[in-house]
Amino acid sequence: MLQSEFAIGTLSSVISYSLTYPIDTIKTNYQTKSLSEKPVLKDVVRQIYQTQGLKGYYRGMGSTLATYPLFWGIFFQTNSTHNVMVASGLASLCTNPLFVLKTRFQSTDHANKSYLGLGQSIYRAEGVRGFFKGFGSTVFGNTKLWLQFPMYTFLNEKTDNVVVSSMIAKITSSTIYYPTDLIRTNQRNLRDSRNMFQVGKSIYQVNGIRGLYNGVVLYNLVSIPSFVILMVCRDYLKKQK
């Protein structure tokens, strides 16, 4: 039986993101076009298929299963002894380099590189700092967890329903904080160094204020089921201890 919060969080996340991964790939490619154009969903889906076939929707799955599970494992283990703020900050610091690799590996712009080749190219062109692109916006964006988990706990205590509680908490936090996810995804994919305000300004100049919510539906399509499955699995595994 799983005994630690780290193991429970890691396994729960592996299950949740394995089931929702293709939508995450489409979402990432959709988001990374927001700096230069008004993305069209059907064109993004078609481009992935034309350049990589069906396997393109699963490209980078290995890196994803090394990022989110590690993040949630660290988060739940740390949160059990400290608080949401410390847990989210530590988890973000440890996993940001992996998230940079994940984002670029999913992007069709990097379709012909291996994990090792991509890591080497980032280091040669951008140095160690390249692996921490988007860290500031990640930490800022993860303040949504300060809203999400207290809301989840409150709702679960009232309803005793993990599915309903996690769904409402995630919908609320994800919708409010979505622009930070859009900005950090683009930061991670850029070869140059731009802070979150510069990236946000570029998106605004190309797509207007609505552009900061480009892909919010896609984001919720992957993040809400992922979080619900994560919390259901975690709740089940904790009861088996």
- The pLDDT tens digits for 156-176 are 999 999 999 999 999 999 999
Stated length of the chain: 241
Candidate from 1-5, 61-65, 88-92, 216-220 with smallest mean pLDDT: 1-5
Give me the domain span that covers residue 95. 5-239
- The pLDDT tens digits for 118-147 are 888 899 999 999 999 989 888 888 889 989
- The pLDDT tens digits for 148-160 are 999 999 999 999 9
Query: CATH code at 96?
Result: 1.50.40.10
pTM of the complete model: 0.83
Query: How many domains does the chain fold into?
Result: 1
